[in-house]
With several copies, the nearest count.
Chain A
Amino acid sequence: MTATAEPELAEHFEATLRRNDRIEPRDWMPEAYRATLVRQIAQHAHSEVIGMQPEGNWVTRAPSLRRKAVLLAKVQDEAGHGLYLYSACETLGTSRRELTEKLISGRQKYSSIFNYPTLSYADVGTIGWLVDGAAICNQVPLCRTSFGPYGRAMIRICKEESFHQRQGYELLMTMMRGTDEQRAMVQESVDRFWWPALMMFGPPDADSPNTERSMAWGIKRNTNDELRQKFVDMTVPQARALGVTLPDPELRWDEQRQAHHFGQPDWAEFKQVVSGNGPCNAQRVAHRKRAHDEGAWVREAATAFAAKQAAAAEETGDRR
């Protein structure tokens, strides 16, 4: 670090960004870039981990063995995504342990969507279709993000998310071919998740002060409103194929813009949820904290055992 002067390093960093090349962990990077990345990746990792809960809520009640296997595998994938993303953070010098502490003490956030409850098995499908769908819209551009480990993690994650999205949609499709009650369950679930899904892209661009800098750094590739529009345009025909209505009276095709016009989510509700008063914020964090606290003795045992093994190996080595 001391060998090369900072302006020179900064120039190299900027040049890499201009070439759309990747910044790697050993490269020099501005502290603000590092901090922003850590925050963004950690928030994403936390979302995967907290995201296990709303779907996990139905693992023990899955109505068929096939669906149970699909759901369990999906929740397991989410744990895997959490792992990759925490690893990406570790390449930036921040440990999983530290980030977990921030999560369970409420100092770092996760996607607000997971602060809504899952109230029927249809929600498992809706989360796959709408929530994973929105996540993919958000994440596909991140496969080209400027930080190497994050971009590579996103490539793998997006592939799995697409798979989950198709599975979710397929569950809903199947339920729509079932009984009247099942169809009503699907519609009710879509009604509940539609607006929160739109909120997943964050506040309108006018209220999103960090977007510009993140885009300059190549950490973000599209604005919130661009992504939201893309999601709506993608989803409307899928809803039609499924046979459900979306709960937005303003929704219509705008011939001039060649895009859908749609209403605005309740941003006051969004703020309430983001500030911690959503229907499940306290529950989600308390669940994570409990599991983490209850596991402390296991992690300590593993550490102590590894230390004993290492000491024994060293002793054996000494004796040789």
Chain B
Amino acid sequence: PAVLARYCLALGDDALVFSHRLSQWCSNAPDLEEDIALANTALDLLGQARLLLARAAAADPALVPALPEGSPVPPEDALAFFRDDRDFANVRLAEVPNGDFAEVVVRLLLFSTWRLALFEQLAGSRDAVLAAVAAKGRKELAYHREYAARWFLTLAQGTDESRRRLLAALDGLWPLWPELFSTHPVEAAAAEAGVGVDPAAVAGAVDAVVEQVFTASGVTRPERGALAGVRGRFGRDGAHTEALSRMLAEMQVVARAHPKGLW
């Protein structure tokens, strides 16, 4: 159960953190349709995050931060709002600060392609809750991927400016890609136990999908190396970029100001 809990927390944090970045687009998108689409994606991921954090808390209540006696804060919120950045297990791709619209398109393409592959496997998890979350989530992720791939093609072939921005975004995010396929001990243990997926096992399939989008768009794969961790530790280990603690300062401020608050 400790492995299951930590595994659900990792997948939940990916969704929670990237959902937050997407929610920062609210009222800032290039057009109303995109504002709606990005909010919708943020909502889908937020929904996944809530189920996964709740599963994590149920599987191992020791994970949930202690709150003042009598606090009505539910476990999902205790996990979301009362952990520090070093206790978040999300990959760094989820947390980097927003750039322009090309950046969100590329990030969403990479994130949803990867996560969809994981969820397709996870639909067969021995943990029934996780399997159900994955079964529901894969439809959402397939839609996100479609949306991102469509815009990837559009920006790649739209104007010189859009292509320039798309390539710059891809170049900037590419160093974060390998981290998604480096197996963390928790993932290895979860795969071993039949509840989770080893991301390295889906690397080939995921790469083929991304390559297909690149080819259709006339984009060549960047050659940037992987972004190093800190002492070999990555996002899953709680070693994040400087951006995460800033993001959490904003995200958690009201909840933390009212540890006994009822919302």
Q: Touch between A and B in complex, CB under 8 Å?
A: yes
A177 within 8 A of B: yes
Q: Which listed residue, A68, A82, A282, touches B23 by the CB 8 Å rule? A: A68
How distant is the Cα of A175 from the Cα of B30 in the complex, in angstroms?
35
Contacts of A15 in B (CB 8 A): none
**Cβ of A263: which chain B residues have Cβ within 8 Å of it?**
none
How distant is B199 from chain A, measured CB to nearest CB, in Å? 20
Is B138 engaged at the interface, CB distance under 8 Å to the other chain?
Answer: no
Residues from chain A with Cβ under 8 Å of B73 in the complex: 64
How many interface residues does A have (CB within 8 Å)?
72
Q: Do A117 and B46 touch across chains, with their CB atoms under 8 A apart? A: no
> For A192, what are the chain B residues with a Cβ–Cβ distance below 8 Å?
230-231
Residue of A nearest to B229 (CB): A279
> Known: A72-B43, A76-B40, A80-B36. Is A291-B241 also a contact (CB below 8 A)?
no
Q: How far is the CA of A114 from the CA of B250 in the complex (A)?
A: 23
- CB distance A59 to B43 under 8 Å? no
* Interchain residue pairs with CB less than 8 A apart (5): A63-B255, A80-B36, A178-B261, A299-B31, A304-B162
Report the separation of the CA atoms of residues A305 and B72 in the bound assembly, to the nearest whole angstrom: 52
Q: Provide the A40-75 mask, 1 if CB < 8 A to any CB of B, else 0.
A: 000000000100111011111111111111001101
The 5 A-B pairs with the shortest beta carbon distances in the complex, nearest first, are: A295-B30, A301-B158, A301-B162, A178-B262, A298-B30
A69, A79, A195, A282: the one contacting B47 at CB < 8 Å is A69
Asked if B76 contacts A295 (CB within 8 A), the reply is no
A300 CB → nearest B CB, Å = 6
Q: With A175-B263, A179-B260 in contact, is A272–B31 under 8 Å at CB?
A: no
Render A78-117 as a binary contact track against B, CB cut-off 8 A, 1 for contact.
0110110010000000000000000000000000000011
**Is B61 engaged at the interface, CB distance under 8 Å to the other chain?**
no
User: Is B81 part of the contact surface with A, judged by Cβ < 8 Å?
Assistant: yes
Residues in A with CB closer than 8 Å to B29 are 291, 295
A119 touches B49 (CB 8 A): no
- State whether B27 touches A174 (Cβ < 8 A): no
Q: Report yes or no: A297 in contact with B43, Cβ–Cβ below 8 A.
A: no
Contact A294 B100 (CB under 8 A): yes
Closest residue of chain A to B28, judged by CB?
A: A291
Partner of A269, one of B20, B26, B228, B253: B228
Whether A83 and B262, one on each chain, are in contact in the complex, defined by CB atoms closer than 8 angstroms, is no
Q: B158's contact among A276, A282, A305, by CB below 8 Å, is which?
A: A305
176-196 of chain A: CB within 8 A of chain B: 177-179, 181-182, 188, 191-192, 195
Tell me the bound Cα distance from A83 to B251 in angstroms: 29
Chain B residues contacting A116 (CB-CB under 8 Å) are: 230
The residues of B that contact A296 with a CB separation of less than 8 Å are 30
* Smallest CB separation, B150 vs chain A (Å): 10
Q: Does B146 contact A (CB under 8 A)?
A: no
> Is A298 touching B34 in the complex (CB atoms < 8 A)?
yes
Q: Known contacts A53-B27, A69-B47: does B161 contact A279 (CB below 8 Å)?
A: no
Given B159, B228, B241, which contacts A272 in the complex, CB threshold below 8 Å?
Answer: B228
Q: Give the one of A192, A294, A295 with max B CB within 10 A.
A: A295
A191, B46: Cα distance in complex, Å: 33
Within 8 Å of chain B (Cβ to Cβ): is A280?
yes
Q: By DSSP majority rule, is chain B's interface helix, strand, loop, or mixed?
A: helix
What's the nearest-Cβ distance from chain A to residue B135, in Å?
Answer: 20
Enumerate B60-94 residues with CB–CB distance to A below 8 Å: 72-74, 76-77, 80-81, 85-86
CB of B193 closer than 8 Å to a CB of A: no
Assess whether A245 is interfacial by the CB under 8 Å rule: no
Q: Does B111 sit at the interface, judged by CB under 8 A?
A: no
Contact with B along A276-299 (1 / 0, CB 8 A): 111110110001000100111111
Q: CB < 8 Å: which of A188, A287, A300 contacts B159?
A: A300
Decide: B241 and A117 in contact? CB cutoff 8 A.
Answer: yes
Complex: how many Å from CA A53 to CA B243?
13
In B223-239, the 8 Å CB interface with A consists of 224-232, 239
Q: Which of A58, A273, A297 contacts B161 (CB 8 A)?
A: A297
Tell me if B127 is interfacial: C-beta within 8 Å of chain A.
Answer: no
- A271 and B132 CA atoms in complex are apart in Å by 45
Instruction: Tell me how far the C-beta of A193 lies from the nearest C-beta in chain B, rounded to whole angstroms.
Output: 10
Contacts of B50 in A (CB 8 A): 65-66, 69
Determine the distance from Cα of A249 to Cα of B64 in the docked complex, in whole angstroms: 33
A83 to B142 Cα, complex, angstroms: 25
Interface mask (A136-166 → B, CB under 8 Å = 1, otherwise 0)? 0000000000000000000000000000000
Contact A83 B32, beta carbon cutoff 8 Å: yes
Whether B30 lies near A72 (C-beta < 8 A) is no
Residues of A within 8 A of B162 (CB): 297-298, 300-301, 304
**B43–A119 touching, CB < 8 Å:** no
Interface pair A65/B77, CB less than 8 Å apart: yes
What residues of chain B lie closer than 8 Å to A53, measured between beta carbons?
27
Q: How far is the CA of A179 from the CA of B154 in the complex (A)?
A: 51
| A127 interfacial by beta-carbon distance below 8 Å | no
A residues in contact with B155, CB < 8 Å: 298, 301
Contacts of A310 in B (CB 8 A): none
Q: A63-B77, A75-B27 given. 15 additional CB < 8 A pairs?
A: A59-B26, A72-B26, A76-B39, A76-B43, A82-B32, A83-B32, A83-B36, A121-B263, A178-B72, A182-B261, A182-B262, A279-B230, A298-B30, A299-B30, A305-B157
